[in-house]
Amino acid sequence: MTFKATRLTLAAAFLGLSAFGASAQGFTPENPECIAPANPGGGWDFTCRQVGKSLQDLGLIDKTMQVVNLAGGGGGVAYAEVVNKRNDDNDLIVAASSATATRLAQGAFPGNTMDQVRWLASIGADYGVIAVAKDSPVQSLTELLDMIKDDPRSVSIAGGSAVGGWDHLKVLIAANAYGIEDVRKVKYIAFDGGGEAVTQLLAGSVQAFTGDISEAKGFVDSGDIRVIAVLAPERLDGEFASFPTAREQGVDAIGANWRGFYAPGGMSDAAYDAWVSKIADLYASDEWKAIMANNGLAPLDLQGADFQKFVADSVAQIQSISKDIGIIK
């Protein structure tokens, strides 16, 4: 499968998708909890905290959502915790994304598969970015990629996913599109979440950051980093309109990171249906539409069985990409 065909397939999955429907009745979480499988400041942390607050604000849950940061293994520590220790917890949901699908696709969660949990719903898609520190001499994506071409060891790029994970893959897709023949020479350094990766960028330990719009926004607003490329088909709207795309710089690279949730595999049907419905109602709300607009999230409206199939398709597609670039055999 070619990079272009795979990207088009992924992009097509983000269009024309319908909502779950009316709220399920009969279950209310007593102690709602969301695990963010990374340290504070990254995309999973954003997903848990924003969704938890909005669910309560809209009256969809009665109590404050407890957010637990459980970093490690690119999400593997949290996945193992849910599968092995909390398999029947009806009050628990876990933030997930394309990074989760990537690790599952590559067999990076030892002994774990996507079928061991129940996939709830998506809450949007987050386009990837490549950024540098505000005082970096690098002004464009092509300038950064030329530096990598000339001397791959001279540029270190930090991301919040493990080696071979989604943040890593986004850089490799861009490098491949720019004609860097052996993308395995691109120097990527993994951290437990986008917040930690940006901290290393600001400390001067690395030359660039790869992550998602939602992760980068706060650091852009504070003036700490500059986005040199958005991995979207065209410029985003509103306050993100000033960020150039990779494509307009001659690099045909697209990377959309879906965001959503999974639940323990032993969750009851009543609890599962209720959580799916609550997230569907949240997604349909004006409040969530405003949050999506403010954080650069693109539409991705999938719940229940539709989301389960979408994740399965994503895992298969990422396996193909990973084989194309030699990450897995």
What gap in Å lies between CA 315 and CA 329, rounded to an integer?
A: 15
Number of domains in the chain: 2
Both 132 and 240 in one domain: the answer is yes
Q: What is the pLDDT of residue 25?
A: 56
What gap in Å lies between CA 110 and CA 156, rounded to an integer?
A: 28
Both 48 and 141 in one domain: the answer is no
Q: Would 206 be classed as within a structural domain?
A: yes
Both 110 and 142 in one domain: the answer is no
Q: Would 34 be classed as within a structural domain?
A: yes
Both 51 and 121 in one domain: the answer is yes
Mean pLDDT by 10 residues, the chain (329 residues): 40 37 67 96 92 97 97 94 98 95 92 96 94 97 97 95 88 92 91 91 97 88 96 88 95 92 98 98 97 89 96 88 81
Coil vs helix vs strand at 296 = coil
Domain end position, chosen among 249, 269, 288: 249
CATH number where 243 lies: 3.40.190.10
Q: What is the pLDDT of residue 138?
A: 97
Both 71 and 214 in one domain: the answer is no
CATH number where 43 lies: 3.40.190.150
Coil vs helix vs strand at 165 = coil
- Tabulate helix, strand, coil % of the chain (nearest 5): 45, 20, 35
Rg value, the chain, Cα: 19
Both 219 and 144 in one domain: the answer is yes
Both 147 and 218 in one domain: the answer is yes
Domain end position, chosen among 249, 268, 302: 249
Q: Would 329 be classed as within a structural domain?
A: no
Both 225 and 264 in one domain: the answer is no
Both 12 and 112 in one domain: the answer is yes
What gap in Å lies between CA 99 and CA 80, rounded to an integer?
A: 16
Retrieve residue 45's tokens: 């942390």
Q: What is the pLDDT of residue 1?
A: 40
Q: What is the pLDDT of residue 22?
A: 39
Element (H, E) at 119: strand 117-133
Q: What is the pLDDT of residue 261?
A: 98
Q: Would 274 be classed as within a structural domain?
A: yes
Both 146 and 117 in one domain: the answer is no
Domain end position, chosen among 249, 269, 284: 249
Q: Would 8 be classed as within a structural domain?
A: yes
HEC assignment per residue over 169-191: HHHHHHHHHCCCCCHHHCEEEEC
Both 91 and 203 in one domain: the answer is no
Both 118 and 204 in one domain: the answer is no
Q: Would 275 be classed as within a structural domain?
A: yes
Q: Domain range spanning residue 218?
A: 127-249
Q: What is the pLDDT of residue 322?
A: 84
Q: What is the pLDDT of residue 327?
A: 81
